[in-house]
């Protein structure tokens, strides 16, 4: 099989009960290439009936799938991994066309998604709970993990190939049925991944795709047949989803937005730190929940570090994601580009020093693209909006502090706690930050604190609502409940 990478594409479909279906809601939206403005396809939104059909098909499939031997359950996942790897380049091309990031970034995100399929294949081991002989006189006790039913995941636009795979493989490996609601801004790559799901050998109804927007999400959250929901997206929506799903008695994990910091101490390798800082802030055009865009630098090396950052930033090429040599692709929509431009203007108004202005960037051959060049502010104050609010564009701001304690204080004053990075040559400073920073992921001499799939991934504070995070062992816990057998055999 081949994946259709050449737009215009037919309207985006749902995948329910092993069949392709057309969403039956009245709303929908056009999907456009962020770099060219070209119309790629249209996605229709799913109605309450569409959602109900998907959930009921999941419930029916769960009756058998939940008790299918685990070794059989992971076979379609092995096949899915093979198919994803065989079609990784085609998927990456689709992803670039609808999202705007670079081809390498698209391939990279798919690789991180595939990693989750691999980890989920370990479920015969990771789903085991525990056994204790002679837990009490003549009594043996055994804890077991059981799947629960139908789960849903509602995912954002910025990693449309990877984030669905934070959930789907674990949900089905543990014996549940799964319904994905991808972002309506770039839903095509998820549809293409489902073309591979369709071939991987899952029984009908185990894995399903419903497209849509807010109403579709609400139908999923309000449906009695949905046992739990995973959400990844912006903080205000994460909070709403958490409250609505919990009020409906569902398990819920809701990952929200971010504002991440980099700390650079005077003992750091400054050139290395500058390279990683610019990559962290500008990769995927800054549309990453792990983008570190507030850079807190020890005063003794502040001026030197600013110069290094500016050299690095000026070196980045803005362009079309499928063209060789592009470092920074397009932003998702013109509306989002305007929002980022407004935030840059707010930074200027609030008194930060605009050291590099990416607003006048032009990309030859792509006059209609949503492009912004790397933008660097100096002398940022932690109270400024550019230091407090998520920008989601290729913009970073630098500020100086006296020492590591002040740096940690700046970081911990943030409402968010998704991630942070520290560049240092000092183990003592690393230990201070490791002990004091209120973040879910901390990179030491690593610009983007993205854990491998066998570790959980999730933030703190306003970056996360719930308790069990995405990926790894947390997903096994989220998708199962434990039962304890207390056994006595008086004749033994």
Matching residue, tokens 């549309």: 287
Residues whose CB falls within 8 Å of the CB of residue 399, separated by 6 or more in sequence, listed in order:
294, 295, 296, 297, 378, 379, 380, 381, 382, 387, 410
Residue 329: strand pairing partners: none
Nearer to ligand NAD by Cβ, of 157 and 302: the residue is 157
Query: Judged by CB under 6 A, does residue 217 bind ligand NAD?
Result: yes
* Residue 32 interacts with ligand NAD (CB under 6 A): yes or no: no
Binding mask 172-191 for ligand NAD (x = CB under 6 A): ---------x-xx-------
Catalytic site residue 289?
yes
Alpha-carbon span 14 to 87, nearest angstrom: 20
Q: With respect to ligand NAD, which residue has the nearer C-beta, 60 or 246?
A: 246
Identify residues 236-295 at the interface with ligand NAD (CB under 6 A). Answer: 237, 240, 255-258, 289
Q: Which is nearer to ligand NAD, 235 or 375 (CB)?
A: 235
154 counts as binding ligand NAD under rule CB under 6 A: yes
What is the closest distance, in whole angstroms, from the C-beta atom of residue 239 to ligand NAD in the complex?
Answer: 10
Q: How many CB atoms lie within 10 A of CB 310?
A: 18
Q: Applying CB under 6 A, which of residues 39, 139, 143, 214 lies at the interface with ligand NAD?
A: 214
Nearer to ligand NAD, 120 or 190 (CB): 190
Q: How far apart (Å, rounded) are the C-alpha atoms in residues 416 and 389?
A: 9
Torsion of CA 263, 330, 317, 279, to 10 degrees: 20
DSSP state of 46: P
**Residue 404, φ and ψ in degrees, nearest 5:** -65, -35
Using CB under 6 A as the binding criterion, the count of chain residues that bind ligand NAD stands at 27
CB of 157 to ligand NAD, least distance (A): 4
- Sequence-distant (6+) residues with CB within 8 A of 30 are 39, 40, 41, 42
Q: Does 463 bind ligand NAD (CB under 6 A)?
A: yes
Residues 404-423 that bind ligand NAD (CB under 6 A): 418
- The torsion defined by the Cα of 295, 298, 303 and 308, in degrees rounded to 10, comes to -50
Q: How many Cβ atoms sit within 10 Å of the Cβ of residue 424?
A: 22
Radius of gyration of the chain (CA): 23
Q: Does 157 bind ligand NAD (CB under 6 A)?
A: yes
62-70, 131-139, 213-221, 477-485 -> range binding ligand NAD (CB under 6 A): 213-221
Residue 220 three-state SS: helix
Selected range binding ligand NAD among 77-85, 210-218, 426-434, 446-454, rule: CB under 6 A: 210-218
Among 55, 232, 252, 363, binds ligand NAD (CB under 6 A): 232
Catalytic pick among 121, 282, 284, 289 = 289
Query: How far is Cα 96 from Cα 103, in angstroms, rounded to an integer?
Result: 6
**Which of 275, 341 has the CB closer to ligand NAD?**
341
Site string for ligand NAD, 364-403 (x = CB under 6 A): --------------------------x-x-----------
Please tell me the distance from the alpha carbon of residue 419 to that of residue 233, in angstroms, as a whole number.
15
Q: Roughly how many angstroms between the first and final C-alpha of the chain, as a whole number?
A: 58
Active site residues per annotation: 289
> Can you give the binding site for ligand NAD, defined by CB under 6 A?
154-159, 181, 183-184, 213-214, 217, 232-234, 237, 240, 255-258, 289, 390, 392, 418, 459, 463
């Amino acid at each position: 099989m081949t994946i259709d990478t050449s737009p215009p594409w037919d309207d985006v479909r749902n995948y329910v009960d092993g069949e392709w279906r057309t969403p039956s809601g009245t709303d929908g939206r056009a999907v456009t290439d962020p770099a060219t403005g070209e119309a790629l396809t249209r996605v229709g939104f799913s109605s309450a009936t569409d959602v109900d059909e998907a959930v009921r098909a999941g419930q029916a499939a769960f009756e058998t799938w939940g008790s299918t031997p685990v070794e059989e359950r992971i076979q379609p996942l092995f096949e899915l991994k093979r198919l994803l790897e065989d079609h990784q380049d085609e998927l990456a091309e689709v992803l670039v066309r609808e999202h705007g990031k670079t081809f390498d970034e698209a391939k990279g995100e798919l690789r991180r998604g595939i990693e989750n399929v691999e980890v989920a294949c370990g479920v015969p081991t990771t789903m085991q709970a525990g056994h204790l002989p002679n837990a009490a006189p003549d009594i043996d006790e055994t804890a077991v993990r059981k799947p629960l039913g139908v789960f849903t995941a509602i995912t954002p636009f910025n990693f449309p190939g990877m984030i669905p795979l934070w959930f789907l493989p674990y949900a089905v490996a543990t014996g549940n049925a799964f319904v994905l609601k991808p972002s309506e801004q770039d839903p095509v790559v998820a549809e293409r991944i489902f073309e591979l799901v369709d071939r991987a050998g899952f029984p009908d109804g185990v894995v399903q795709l419903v497209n849509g927007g807010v109403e579709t999400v609400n139908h999923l959250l309000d449906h009695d047949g949905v046992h739990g929901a995973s959400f990844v997206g912006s903080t205000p929506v994460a909070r709403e989803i958490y409250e609505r799903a919990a009020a409906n008695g569902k398990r819920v994990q809701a990952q929200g937005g971010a504002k991440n910091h980099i700390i650079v101490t005077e003992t750091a390798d400054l050139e290395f730190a500058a390279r990683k800082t610019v990559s962290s802030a500008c990769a995927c055009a800054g549309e990453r929940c792990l983008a570190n865009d507030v850079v807190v630098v020890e005063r003794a090396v502040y001026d030197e570090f600013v110069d290094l950052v500016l050299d690095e930033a000026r070196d980045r090429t803005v362009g079309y994601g499928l063209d060789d040599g592009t470092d920074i692709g397009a932003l998702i929509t013109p509306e989002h580009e305007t929002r980022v431009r407004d935030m840059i203007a707010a930074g200027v108004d609030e008194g930060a020093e605009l050291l590099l202005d990416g607003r006048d960037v032009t990309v030859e051959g792509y006059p209609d693209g949503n492009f912004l060049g790397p933008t660097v502010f100096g002398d940022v104050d932690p109270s400024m909006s550019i230091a407090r609010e998520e920008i989601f564009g290729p913009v970073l701001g630098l500020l100086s502090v006296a020492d590591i304690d002040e740096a940690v204080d700046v970081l911990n004053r943030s409402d968010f706690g998704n991630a942070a990075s520290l560049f240092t040559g000092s183990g003592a400073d690393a230990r201070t930050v490791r002990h004091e920073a209120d973040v879910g992921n901390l990179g030491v001499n690593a610009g983007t604190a993205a854990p491998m799939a066998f570790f959980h991934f999730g933030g703190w504070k306003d970056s996360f609502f719930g308790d069990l995070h995405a990926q790894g062992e947390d997903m096994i816990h989220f998708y199962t409940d434990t039962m304890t057998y207390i056994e006595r055999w008086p004749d033994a």
